[in-house]
Amino acid sequence: MVLVAALGCLLLAFLLGVVALVAKPRVTAAGSLALIETSYSVALPETAVVHSSPSWLRSIALRLSPAGVAQHLQRRLDLAGNPPTWTPDRVLAAKGLGLLLGGGLGALIGVRSVGWLLAGLAAGAVFGFFLADLLLLNAGQKRQEKIRRALPDALDMLTVCVEAGLGFDAALAQVARNTAGPLAQECARVLQEMQIGKSRNQALRALTERTTVTELRAFVSALAQAGELGVPIAQVLREQAREMRVRRRQRAEELAQKVPVKILFPLVACLFPAMFVVIIGPGAISIARVLMNL
> In angstroms, what CA-CA distances link 264 with 109, 114, 261, 271?
35, 42, 5, 10
Q: How high is the pLDDT of residue 29?
A: 44
Domain boundaries, the chain: 56-146
**In whole numbers, what is the pLDDT of the chain averaged over residues?**
78
DSSP 189-205: HHHHHHHHT--HHHHHH
> In angstroms, what CA-CA distances link 285 with 12, 271, 282?
109, 21, 5
45 pLDDT band (50/70/90 cuts)? very low
SS3 content of the chain, % helix, strand, coil (to 5): 80, 0, 20
Q: Nearest to residue 137, comparing CAs of 73, 87, 92?
A: 73
Q: How high is the pLDDT of residue 50?
A: 43
Q: Nearest to residue 48, comparing CAs of 76, 90, 80?
A: 90
Check pLDDT > 70 for residue 191.
yes
271 pLDDT band (50/70/90 cuts)? confident
pTM of the model: 0.68
Q: How high is the pLDDT of residue 235?
A: 83
The proportion of the chain whose per-residue pLDDT surpasses 90, expressed as a percent, equals: 0
pLDDT in tens, 74-111: 888 888 888 777 888 888 888 888 888 888 888 888 77
Q: How high is the pLDDT of residue 285?
A: 85
Q: Is 48 helix (H, G, I), strand (E, B) or coil?
A: coil
Q: How high is the pLDDT of residue 47?
A: 41
